[in-house]
Amino acid sequence: DAGITQSPRYKITETGRQVTLMCHQTWSHSYMFWYRQDLGHGLRLIYYSAAADITDKGEVPDGYVVSRSKTENFPLTLESATRSQTSVYFCASQGAGSGANVLTFGAGSRLTVL
């Protein structure tokens, strides 16, 4: 199916554990983004990627690691989860051509850290 998919949709983990959230897009878009959504803060950018093997920090990168070995995948890893990382995480990709300058979002991954 065409689009952008995130997995898992729901995850419960414990403090100190490593967690990886997956993001896959089928359009070969160059730019991809990870946001977290928290009440009162809206969306905050964690990391973004301009292309395979090119990533950069956003507004709130501490505690997160990303990689992008293939254009279509952009996983987000919490190396040692903390309770403050309980949030809803959204992956997005940016269109090209007539869809340029528009973000398309995945359905989100709700992470709870106990």
Partner 1 sequence: GNSVTQMEGPVTLSEEAFLTINCTYTATGYPSLFWYVQYPGEGLQLLLKATKADDKGSNKGFEATYRKETTSFHLEKGSVQVSDSAVYFCALSPTGNQFYFGTGTSLTVIP
Question: Which residues bind to partner 1, rule: CB under 8 A?
Answer: 31, 33, 35, 40-43, 45, 48, 50, 90, 92, 94, 100-108
Q: What letter does residue 73 receive in the DSSP assignment?
A: B
Nearer to partner 1, 48 or 74 (CB): 48
Q: Least CB distance from residue 36 to partner 1, whole Å?
A: 11
Using the minimum distance from each CB to partner 1, give the nearer residue, 69 or 101.
101
CB of 17 to partner 1, least distance (A): 25
In the complex, least distance from residue 68 CB atom to partner 1, rounded to whole angstroms: 15
Strand order in the sheet with 64-66: 4-7, 19-25, 76-78, 64-66
Burial category of 92 from C-beta neighbours within 10 Å (exposed 0-12, middle 13-18, buried 19 and up): buried
Determine how many CB atoms are found less than 10 A away from the CB of residue 54.
Answer: 11
